[in-house]
Amino acid sequence: MKAISFHFMPYADLPADFTETSRSVWVDIDPKLYDPVKGHAMYRDYLDELELAAEVGFHGVAVNEHHANGYGLMPSPNLMASTLARTTRDAAIVVLGNSLALYNPPLRVAEEFAMLDVLSGGRLVAGFPVGTPMDTCYAYGVDPATLRDRYNEAHDLIMAAWTRDEPFTFNGHYTKLRQVNCWPRPLQQPHPPIWIPGGGSVETWQWCAEQQYVYCYLSYYGWKLGLTQMRGFWNHVKELGLDPNPYRSGFAQFIAVADSEQEALDLYREPAEYFYRRCLHVHGGYAEPPGYKTEATVRAGVASQVEMAAKGGPGETTKAKAGSKSALGDLTFEKMVDAGYILIGSPTQVAEKLHHVATQLNCGHMMLLGHFGNMSKELCSYNLRMFGEKVLPEVQGLFDDQWEDLWWPQHAVGGTRHVPAPDGARARR
């Protein structure tokens, strides 16, 4: 199993009355709430934390893209990845990722990811999310009806740009280029591993399985809810006759480790409540612009609503999925722990839980959020060190006696296909 330290880089100083005074943490969050001086300190701390994660043994560090978002301060994850490529030595640089439809032309993604791959000496994981409705449709104004069409076309352009060995013409509906010629070329050949972060779209399961890309389920609601989603993906893998290699998948999970369970509960309550109450305070009107969901997903949703109606109404998890104020306002720390949103406890407890979760999900790439909410650098460092020193040794061998990780960067630590980084890249560090 690979442990990847994932960081959202939240703004950690949202006011206590944020949920009463603001409509949403995303899209229309008040710009006056952002203090760039504090923001400077946060970026510094967050990069320190990711670098520490690499030092204490995490196999990779992960960043992602959000726009106009108070809990994700990385409109350009590539800028952060660029820094981490220089300050880490062996860890995979997992960029989860670039929302392809937002780049014009999308060739820019091929170029910047190639730069990162070369800069890092072949340690890049290239993430291709469709992107959330808040990021793509509201903050960046993309028509939800054409978002996936744009995404698919951008994907085809990027893959061709990386793999074709001569300049070529690209004649798409949205992008037309007389000469496509990606310089630099990716160090990993034919291209870096491709991971697709998804939120439960039926087509994404099928597409990832068909393309043999890694499917990453990014939910804030823990492994119990994620189990249904991951089963959907694994069903498609099975239908295609592919092996159930756990490294075909990734899963995001909050972790909180301390010397004892009680200490963990005491230490991590506040940042967890900050995250779930303030950071997930998303206006419901931004959740589902018409056209964002595919028809197949609508059909799946209709079916499940019919089922729920038969059982007396939609359940709490459905409300929570929509990030609705009413659902999250009632969410207690105890519920977060009980429902598995956070794997919390002593090192032994977290190791057991993580082993269980990874096994249940059949997931080889665990993207672990050791920082959440307004967690201080000191507490996050403690969490990461405890995990690296006491939890990781207990779980990292999972799956490796049976499966090879074919989706890991060639020059990152822990890869079974590991190839030493180019001499030139090493010598300069």
Partner 1 sequence: MIGVQRCGSGPAVGYLHGPFGNPGIHPFLEALGGHVSVVAPSLPNFQGSEPRTLRSLHEWLVATSETLEAAGLVGVPLIAASTGAMLACELLAIRPDVTSRLVLLSPLGLWNDDDPVHDIWSERTPRQAAWWLRHPARAARFLEDPPGLGADGLMEREVSRYRCRTAAASLMWPLPDHGLAERIARVRVPVSVIWGAEDRLMGSSYRDRWAVSLPDHAGTTVIDDAGHLVEWDQPERTAAAAVDALSLVHG
**Where along the sequence are the contacts to partner 1 (CB under 8 A)?**
27, 137-138, 141-146, 149, 173-174, 283-286, 288-291, 293, 295, 298-299, 302-303, 306
Burial class (CB in 10 A: 0-12, 13-18, 19+), 243: exposed
Closest CA to 377 of 4, 2, 9: 9
Strand (E) or helix (H) holding 98: none
Give me the residues paired with residue 94 across strands.
62, 125
Least separation in angstroms between CB 149 and partner 1:
6
Nearer to partner 1, 167 or 285 (CB): 285
Task: Give the C-alpha separation, 376 to 119, whole Å.
Answer: 30
Least separation in angstroms between CB 145 and partner 1:
4
Nearer to partner 1, 147 or 344 (CB): 147
Nearer to partner 1, 163 or 326 (CB): 326
Least separation in angstroms between CB 67 and partner 1:
13
Q: Which residues contact 285 (CB under 8 A, 6 or more apart)?
A: none
Nearer to partner 1, 199 or 291 (CB): 291
Closest CA to 76 of 52, 103, 51, 53: 103
Least separation in angstroms between CB 283 and partner 1:
7
Closest CA to 6 of 362, 371, 410, 344: 371
Nearer to partner 1, 39 or 284 (CB): 284
Least separation in angstroms between CB 144 and partner 1:
7
Nearer to partner 1, 151 or 215 (CB): 151
Give CA 42 to chain center in angstroms.
20
Least separation in angstroms between CB 261 and partner 1:
39
Least separation in angstroms between CB 18 and partner 1:
19
Count of other CB atoms within 10 angstroms of residue 237: 22
Nearer to partner 1, 170 or 195 (CB): 170
Count of other CB atoms within 10 angstroms of residue 145: 12
Tokens 């280029």 -> residue:
177
Nearer to partner 1, 145 or 419 (CB): 145
Task: Give the C-alpha separation, 408 to 214, whole Å.
Answer: 10
Least separation in angstroms between CB 176 and partner 1:
13
Task: Give the C-alpha separation, 93 to 84, whole Å.
Answer: 7
Task: Give the C-alpha separation, 238 to 210, whole Å.
Answer: 11
Nearer to partner 1, 137 or 398 (CB): 137
Least separation in angstroms between CB 203 and partner 1:
15
Looking at residue 139, the DSSP 8-state letter turns out to be I
* C-beta separation of 357 from 224 below 8 A: no
Query: Collapsing DSSP states into helix, strand and coil, what is residue 124?
Result: strand
Tokens (6 digits) for 96 = 């989860």
